[in-house]
Amino acid sequence: MIGKKIVELESIDSTNAYANKLLLHNPLEDGVVIWAHEQFAGRGQLDHIWVSETGKNLTFTVIFRPVFLPPDRQFLLNKVVALAVIDFIGTSVANVSAVSPVRAESPGSSGIINPSVSIKWPNDIYVGDLKIGGILIEHKIMGNRLETTLAGIGVNINQTHFTPDIPNPGSLIQFLHRETSLKDSLLLVCRYLDLRYNTLKESGPESLDFDFNQHLLGFGKWRKFTCLEDTLEGKIRGVNSLGQLLIETQKGEILEFNHSEIEYILKETV
């Protein structure tokens, strides 16, 4: 059960790095959680830094033992984690309607009515146009199976001040207008992780595909992307089994992209 064992730390460089060190000497079981109140060297995708104010947000790593999955289906774990975070945030803001969030002290803040929760492929979680969460997943492969997966998760909960160099930051407090218990939030995320993970094991990948696509930012809609040095207009059709983004062009072609090859244009400049 995910979250049955929680290793709670006051301060650490990175929960993923700490989990890796533990695994060198201890074969930790499926579902162990490493939770840090302060993470001073957190990492995001492509060596980006995940900045989080001490004691205000969730920064933790979940250790999975997904030996039932072949290595070429590892992106299913991304879907499990992203959807669980979506479940948590969606539940938290479900009773908030027609209310714009409190403005954070950052250039990316904006008023939003009826915020929707979405996944900005591959691993960012947005509410409206504000980034509230991020995921960093690392896999260890042994032979023809996934031996271990480390899912590093960051969710902004009670932070209201952000540095100007962070694009579109947001947190739950902006929508709820009150502070939220970090421990209660962690336990709720773990509950949703457990549900999504067991659904994958018991019902297969099809159980995740529909929900993932429905929450995928831009799914089925024409929008613009940057591709190398060009601008591409296309319609997101989902992801393939390797986790590549599928985009339909205006000519009807389906193109496949890795994370470093394409980027959403969230706001167009005039």
pTM: 0.88
Domain housing 184: 6-214
pLDDT tens-digit map of 74-127: 999 999 999 999 999 999 887 665 344 444 443 333 333 334 899 999 999 999
- Does 258 lie in the same domain as 175? no
Task: For residue 269, tell me if it sits in a domain.
Answer: no
Q: What are 2's two structure tokens? A: 């995910």
pLDDT tens-digit map of 4-14: 999 999 999 89
- Does 165 lie in the same domain as 61? yes
- Does 166 lie in the same domain as 131? yes
Domain count for the chain? 2
- Does 227 lie in the same domain as 207? no
